[in-house]
A and B are shown apart, each in its own frame.
Chain A
Amino acid sequence: MFVARSIAADHKDLIHDVSFDFHGRRMATCSSDQSVKVWDKSESGDWHCTASWKVKRTTLVDSRTSVTDVKFAPKHMGLMLATCSADGIVRIYEAPDVMNLSQWSLQHEISCKLSCSCISWNPSSSRAHSPMIAVGSDDSSPNAMAKVQIFEYNENTRKYAKAETLMTVTDPVHDIAFAPNLGRSFHILAIATKDVRIFTLKPVRKELTSSGGPTKFEIHIVAQFDNHNSQVWRVSWNITGTVLASSGDDGCVRLWKANYMDNWKCTGILKGNGSPVNGSSQQGTSNPSLGSTIPSLQNSLNGSSAGRYFFTPLDSPRAGSRWSSYAQLLPPPPPPLVEHSCDADTANLQYPHPRRRYLSRPLNPLPENEGI
């Protein structure tokens, strides 16, 4: 059961986006009122605005048309971001110095040949998975057919190349999101188009394909829901990639979840104003938050620390800080982080990963519940 409560946002106009930090204790919102606000969660769970400003750090001017989406790369790739634009070009930038955010160098330009509307990085930090970007298009011209393309970084050519095109998605795509991987052997991709769609992409093992080329995938559509009865605008995965939230033109937020048989179904509907949809719940809405907005800037962010990794996409949880030897069955540690580099020769030590050969599906919520 999910219940919603209102938060005094104090924005003067439409709020366009919300984003969390890695730990979920800090949040940023941006609005048409031209402000960005940062919120911190108190011990009691209330959100307090701790900073609010109009700021522009840098302008990336390579695009000649509207930039339609911007996403930071997964943290393990360093401080990189990808943009896509209406002219059909995906651009990948990197800030080589995380302390100097006015310097972003253009690393890659990928031509999608279609007006792009949204992008998503594959958040998998596994070394078995090359960096990957899914691009959605809302191109409405009649000869533009497949609206989702997947590009993969090729280590040999050092370029992004198209790995797949989802031929079945032919309607304009408004949002796209890879689920956090968490050691799954396959990727999950949610697409917001005229309905909600969930695809799985299972990499075909490299040995079976010609080496050097892009990874081939077995692609399956595992769910398709038209319950919004209209265009779906946004999709978002929870941290384990087990619950998908979507919002649509019906003004509702819907939650989707799979059972252990991978059958996805709706587990919650809430109206945009937080009230439950008639008949979907017996529970009333909870009282609006009493959390007050504190405009004080005394606790505002340390500019540099906030700037280093603003609100990068969610990463898989980091393994516990433990010494381990290879005999221990521990989840793979995250790859080295750029900010830990230091002067010693051994600084760039990159330790190999322990890896389980048997990839069981650790995230199926206790399938035995419905067993014998």
Chain B
Amino acid sequence: MSGTKPDILWAPHHVDRFVVCDSELSLYHVESTVNSELKAGSLRLSEDSAATLLSINSDTPYMKCVAWYLNYDPECLLAVGQANGRVVLTSLGQDHNSKFKDLIGKEFVPKHARQCNTLAWNPLDSNWLAAGLDKHRADFSVLIWDICSKYTPDIVPMEKVKLSAGETETTLLVTKPLYELGQNDACLSLCWLPRDQKLLLAGMHRNLAIFDLRNTSQKMFVNTKAVQGVTVDPYFHDRVASFYEGQVAIWDLRKFEKPVLTLTEQPKPLTKVAWCPTRTGLLATLTRDSNIIRLYDMQHTPTPIGDETEPTIIERSVQPCDNYIASFAWHPTSQNRMIVVTPNRTMSDFTVFERISLAWSPITSLMWACGRHLYECTEEENDNSLEKDIATKMRLRALSRYGLDTEQVWRNHILAGNEDPQLKSLWYTLHFMKQYTEDMDQKSPGNKGSLVYAGIKSIVKSSLGDLNLNVVAMALSGYTDEKNSLWREMCSTLRLQLNNPYLCVMFAFLTSETGSYDGVLYENKVAVRDRVAFACKFLSDTQVFVSCNFCGKSISYSCSAVPHQGRGFSQYGVSGSPTKSKVTSCPGCRKPLPRCALCLINMGTPVSSCPGGTKSDEKVDLSKDKKLAQFNNWFTWCHNCRHGGHAGHMLSWFRDHAECPVSACTCKCMQLDTTGNLVPAETVQP
């Protein structure tokens, strides 16, 4: 306010008006520009708001501080504290017939002239105005004026004085304050305590003092340097903030001995500290020559015992503009809204966003909380399914029983949404493969020869345009299956230059080690259908194995009937016929395999006889019996209750029972299986 540093204030009752004050007072009106163009002459405050200048008041020079009258007034009544200690009431309105007409121009004069540092309107009695002044040996520094003293002439005598010669205007001068406090002291900041109309908190020269106007001879005070900018938390009336240089002190008036906490010191001196009026525990601070506003979010219930419970404070900073900020003001009612002004009087209007917390629902919607509101965000139903996220697609497909049509295999692409040509071709291919294996027995391998190279021919045809086939032919003619040959080395590096992905994977196939076809399988440009076909043809069938609970290695060779190669089992002390393994532990870590729920023997042991096994099993021919016996040894378990055992035992158990064989487990394992109701063909015997 010293002419260079403007201050800014929102009107307490006009939600769309604010005042910028430096050497004069400028009243602005804020408008939304969401649905309209920027008007000529208005200043842009943010993406969607602009300000129009309504009026300028330069009646009051030497302004040191300004405070807006707290009651509703149509004429924007303001109190201005001046360098000579006078407090002047002034207005930014044009209507001179208002009930405040008598007040405008009224001056409140201290006995001795010195700077007025701060002004504070009493929130309960709107006529009371406290002014804090610099020190004077023979005078008080806190003066409380009654602006309507005219109507109570018995308390305060009022004088009508002519101003100095030349001026014709008469001014009302009031020289007798309602209360005088703080003799021979300086007052730097003031705020009324909302607890009682007659309690005033003042930042004095070296202490914070609470004056009780009911008994002015007494005051409560605490010695501290943090005497600037005292301000009461609007949500916790016992919590007060004040500052000194770069340090903010938070006080609890119930334990007014020392600060309950001090916030991290900032490198430059603070100029303003303000509680957010629309939300609990949010304190904004501003330092000199800074373009950021630092926010302290105190999400804990304040207690007077500050030492014992450590408060949770989240520090944040916001940068509303690129320039240094001269001052800021919270909007009195709009949530978390703030306006800032820079030394060259550019302004910006912005909202401090709450930290939004997020959570994805397992059914693919996003929920977030912003302030006290909840929002749910979902993918639009009518979207093209190709653009949907895989999580949404997986859910929709699962609901449509995708992949479960094992008869009409091709129909699965319809269950998947019938929108993806790649899936369509894949399911058709699988369908034909299934048909082919079913028809294999009937068909004679007749015209197979003509089909063998059909694929290669079509690939070559399709890439005729940009490829010298002679080069490919040359490359192919050098084929050798030697592992470390130059040909392999060259082909495996040069193949990456081929544009046709199919030719590229062909060379990858030719140069790969047996069994490791990553170059083919991970080539994303080759259709899934073709990669699946490749996998069916060239990958070995045992890609799934049972792993040990303890070491994670495959246990498959321990439960097979083939004896372990290399060291014989006898070395481990396992005796018995080599064709009938009794290995019941993991070959990797020697820890036992789990037990069968029925025979209670560790898995891995071949089934000698199925309990309750039917004699019909023995009747079937030898080869079938052997196959069946192998199957009986298989590990089988329920994915729901996780109990299981030998496949043979399990099958025979569920022939007669619905519930899991483990006692006290009521899982209806077999009924959970879609194929569970099917009876194996071998068992359907007379």
Contact = CB atoms under 8 A, between A and B. Distances in A.
A52 interface: no
A7 B364 contact: no
Contacts of A368: 422, 524-525, 527-528
Nearest to B647: A325
Contacts of B638: 321, 323
B364 A239 contact: yes
B316 interface: yes
Nearest to A236: B358
A354 B643 contact: no
A355 B650 CA distance: 22
B170 interface: no
B369 A239 contact: no
Given A3-B377, A270-B377, A347-B662, A371 B544 contact: no
A349 B546 contact: no
B286 interface: no
Interface in B496-527: 501, 521-522, 524-527
A249 B639 contact: no
B547 A358 contact: no
Contact of A322 (B356, B539, B673): B673
B570 to A, nearest CB: 26
Interface in A319-372: 319-330, 333, 336-337, 340, 342-347, 349-358, 360, 363-369, 371-372
Given A4-B377, A251-B351, A325 B636 contact: yes
Given A18-B359, A31-B372, A322-B673, A354 B544 contact: yes
Nearest to A346: B597
A16 interface: yes
B367 interface: yes
Interface centre among B367, B647, B665 (most CB of A within 10 A): B367
Contacts of B47: 278
Contacts of A250: 353
Contacts of A326: 544-546, 556, 634-635
B614 interface: no
A154 interface: no
Contact of A343 (B501, B526, B555, B664): B664
A251 B641 CA distance: 46
Interface stretch (B159-167, B176-184, B387-395): B387-395
A17 B631 CA distance: 52
A170 interface: no
B322 interface: no
A356 B545 CA distance: 7
Contacts of B470: none
A29 B369 CA distance: 9
Nearest to B518: A358
Contacts of A202: none
A351 B637 contact: yes
A320 B669 CA distance: 11
A78 interface: no
A347 B368 CA distance: 42
B548 interface: yes
B373 A346 contact: no
A23 B363 CA distance: 7
Given A5-B375, A234-B357, A242-B391, A355 B368 contact: no
Given A66-B310, A324-B636, A9 B527 contact: no
A145 to B, nearest CB: 20
Contact of B372 (A11, A65, A328, A358): A11
Nearest to B516: A358
A322 B674 contact: yes
Contacts of A274: 375, 377
Nearest to A37: B374
Contact of A314 (B310, B362, B641): B362
B360 interface: yes
A252 to B, nearest CB: 8
Interface string A6-44: 111101111111111011110101011000000000000
B637 A342 contact: no
A349 B376 contact: no
Nearest to B386: A369
Nearest to B384: A1
A224 interface: no
A366 B544 contact: no
Contacts of B526: 371-372
B362 A245 contact: no
A260 B552 CA distance: 30
B549 interface: yes
B266 interface: no
A230 B353 CA distance: 11
A79 interface: no
A8 B555 CA distance: 55
Interface centre among A16, A239, A330 (most CB of B within 10 A): A239
A360 B644 CA distance: 29
A237 B360 contact: yes
A14 B644 contact: no
B676 interface: yes
A251 B370 CA distance: 9
Interface centre among B366, B380, B664, B676 (most CB of A within 10 A): B366
B146 to A, nearest CB: 38
B662 A344 contact: yes
A308 interface: no
Contacts of B423: 366
A365 B372 contact: no
Nearest to B672: A321
Nearest to A3: B380
A9 B373 contact: yes
A164 B669 CA distance: 43
B390 A345 contact: no
Contacts of A251: 351, 353-354, 356, 370
B650 to A, nearest CB: 7
B390 A240 contact: yes
A260 B359 CA distance: 25
A290 interface: no
A84 B182 CA distance: 50
A127 interface: yes
Contact of A356 (B280, B358, B364, B543): B543
A323 B355 contact: no
Contacts of B351: 251
B594 A14 contact: no
B450 interface: no
Contacts of B548: 352
Nearest to B671: A321
Given A18-B368, A345-B595, A352-B555, A2 B379 contact: yes
B353 A272 contact: yes
A325 B207 CA distance: 81
B544 A355 contact: yes
Contacts of A239: 360, 362-364, 391
B362 A272 contact: no
Contacts of B600: 345-346
B362 A321 contact: no
Interface centre among A23, A336, A343, A367 (most CB of B within 10 A): A367
22 contacts: A2-B378, A9-B373, A16-B299, A234-B355, A234-B358, A236-B360, A240-B390, A242-B389, A247-B357, A260-B524, A318-B639, A326-B546, A340-B642, A349-B643, A350-B594, A351-B594, A352-B547, A355-B547, A358-B521, A371-B526, A372-B501, A372-B527
Given A247-B358, A323-B650, 14 more contacts: A13-B279, A17-B357, A242-B391, A321-B638, A322-B674, A323-B669, A326-B546, A342-B663, A349-B597, A352-B555, A352-B594, A352-B635, A363-B390, A366-B422
Interface of A: 1-9, 11-20, 22-25, 27, 29, 31-32, 47, 65-66, 86, 127-128, 230-231, 233-240, 242-243, 245-247, 249-251, 253, 255, 257, 260, 270, 272-274, 278, 283, 289, 314, 318-330, 333, 336-337, 340, 342-347, 349-358, 360, 363-369, 371-372
Top 10 A-B residue pairs of the complex, sorted by shortest distance between their CB atoms: A251-B353, A15-B369, A247-B356, A272-B370, A24-B362, A24-B363, A321-B640, A321-B672, A24-B361, A9-B374
